[in-house]
């Protein structure tokens, strides 16, 4: 297997490189970037000094078509242009950007403020939420890898949504992320002195992951209604927690709900449902592809509080992309992803 990473200089790209370089089925990993032309990768990432002797190549679509898989770890707006061409080759494509996730072109235009990808490209893209869309993923040639927040949120809601148990319009999601989610580009918002000792909310009611969550949620439960979705920045590097509040059509108990989650995820090694009273912190999945879930039914209010945590660069980006590759090629989904959390 020979794979390519476009956007290799970003955080998603370098995390893909870490995973793919140690993947037993991958023989070679070619690095691309729109801004570099032959620079050693270690100039961008000195932590790879002595490990990687690779250079970063300019984009070359013809060459990429001949690879087995192309990972697009690019900002929004690139993949919608590049993917149609790539699909003519032999390479399967896994797009980590938001360009191919929304099926309705109008939704993309509303939330991403730009023109959507061609309709036929969107049609071919399979939404790569690995634990839920396995069948389609196995047959896919083009994966729209889920966003970091949608991954945490949707895995937290799936067992309730798929069973039609959610009371319409009751879903509220309060999400928190570390700074690496904002990428490597220097900005005032990501400046250390502005970030340390600062907990902030951002893009209130305007986050582009809102329609992505709703699209999948409504596929499972047409009546789930619109969601309220907030995103916050935590002064840490990696990790997402989604705290999800939801009402049920029919009352239940913490025990019953946990049992249904455990059953749903029984065959899914990357989802760890915690026992009653246990709630995961983000550090407990640091550096891994796990999604950890805890929940509790509040008898005072009748609401369920669900906590779902992931490492945004792993299960929320590169890790799930590799999991998708594994499934597309018929390997076990955990291949190359057997990491233990780094703790502490």
- Which residues in the 168-197 window bind a copy of itself by CB under 8 A? 169, 172, 174, 176, 178-180, 184, 186-188, 190-197
Of 62-70, 71-79, 148-156, 166-174: span binding a copy of itself (CB under 8 A): 166-174
Residue span binding a copy of itself (CB under 8 A) among the ranges 114-122, 129-137, 152-160, 303-311: 303-311
Token readout for 55 is 């250079």
Cα 234 versus chain centre, distance: 18
Closest separation between CB of residue 63 and a copy of itself, Å? 25
Nearer to a copy of itself, 82 or 102 (CB): 102
Q: Is residue 306 helix, strand or coil?
A: strand
Under 8 Å between Cβ of 46 and 23: no
Pair of tokens at residue 252:
């239940």
Tell me how far, at minimum, the Cβ of 60 lies from a copy of itself, in Å.
26
How many of the other CB atoms lie within 10 Å of CB of 171? Answer: 26
Range 215-244, binding a copy of itself (CB under 8 A): 225-228, 230, 232, 234-239, 241, 243
Residue whose entry in the numeric block shows the structure tokens 């793919």: 20
Nearest Cα neighbor of 278 from 292, 267, 264 is: 292
Residues 316-335 that bind a copy of itself (CB under 8 A): none
Question: Residue 303, interface with a copy of itself (CB under 8 A)?
Answer: yes
Q: Which of 29, 132, 148, 291 is catalytic?
A: 148
User: Quick one: which of 174, 162, 176 has its CA closest to 264?
Assistant: 162
Q: How far is CA 172 from its chain centroid?
A: 20
148 in active site: yes
Cα-Cα-Cα-Cα torsion 2, 64, 56, 238, nearest 10 degrees, comes to: -70
Among residues 256, 227, 226, the alpha carbon closest in space to that of 163 is found at: 256
Q: Would strands 271-273 and 291-297 be described as parallel, antiparallel, or unpaired?
A: parallel
Nearer to a copy of itself, 34 or 254 (CB): 254
Report 117-156 residues binding a copy of itself (CB under 8 A): none
Q: Does 14 bind a copy of itself (CB under 8 A)?
A: yes
Residues from 29 through 88 that contact a copy of itself (CB under 8 A): 45-51
DSSP lists the bridge partners of residue 233 as 177, 200
Q: How many residues bind a copy of itself (CB under 8 A)?
A: 83
Per CB under 8 A, which region of 31-39, 67-75, 112-120, 298-306 contacts a copy of itself?
A: 298-306
161 membership: H or E segment, kind and range: helix 148-162
Among 82-90, 141-149, 167-175, 324-332, the segment contacting a copy of itself (CB under 8 A): 167-175
Please list every residue from 258 through 287 that binds a copy of itself, using CB under 8 A. Answer: 269, 272, 274, 278-287
Catalytic residue ranges: 148
């Amino acid at each position: 297997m020979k794979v390519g990473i476009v956007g290799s200089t970003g955080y998603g790209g370098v995390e893909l490189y870490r995973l793919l370089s140690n993947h037993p089925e991958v023989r070679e990993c070619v690095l691309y970037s729109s801004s570099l032309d032959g620079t050693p990768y270690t100039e961008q990432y000195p932590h790879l000094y002595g490990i990687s002797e690779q250079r970063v190549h300019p984009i070359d679509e013809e060459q990429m078509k001949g690879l087995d898989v192309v990972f697009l770890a690019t900002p929004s707006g690139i993949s919608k242009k590049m993917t149609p061409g790539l699909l003519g080759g032999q390479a399967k494509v896994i797009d980590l950007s938001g360009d191919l996730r929304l099926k309705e072109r109008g939704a993309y235009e509303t939330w991403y403020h730009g023109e959507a990808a061609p309709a036929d490209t969107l049609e071919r893209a399979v939404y790569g939420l690995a634990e839920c869309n396995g069948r389609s993923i196995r047959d896919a040639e083009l994966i729209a890898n889920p966003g970091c927040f949608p991954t945490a949120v949707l895995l937290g809601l799936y067992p309730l949504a798929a069973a039609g148990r959610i009371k319409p319009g009751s879903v509220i999601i309060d999400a928190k992320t570390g700074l690496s989610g904002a990428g490597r580009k220097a900005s005032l918002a990501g400046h250390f002195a502005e970030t340390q000792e600062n907990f902030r909310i951002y893009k209130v009611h305007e986050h582009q992951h809102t329609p992505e969550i709703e699209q999948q949620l409504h596929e499972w439960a047409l009546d789930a209604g619109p969601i309220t979705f907030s995103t916050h920045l935590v002064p840490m590097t990696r990790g997402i927690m989604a705290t999800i509040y939801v009402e049920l059509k029919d009352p239940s108990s913490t025990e019953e709900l946990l049992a249904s989650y455990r059953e749903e995820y029984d065959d899914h090694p990357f989802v760890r449902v915690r026992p009653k009273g246990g709630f995961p912190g983000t550090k407990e999945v640091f550096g891994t592809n796990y999604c950890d879930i805890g929940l509790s039914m509040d008898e005072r209010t009748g609401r369920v509080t669900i906590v779902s945590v992931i490492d945004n660069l792993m299960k929320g980006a590169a890790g799930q992309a590799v999991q998708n590759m594994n499934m597309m090629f018929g390997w076990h989904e955990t291949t190359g992803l057997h990491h233990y959390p780094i703790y502490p």
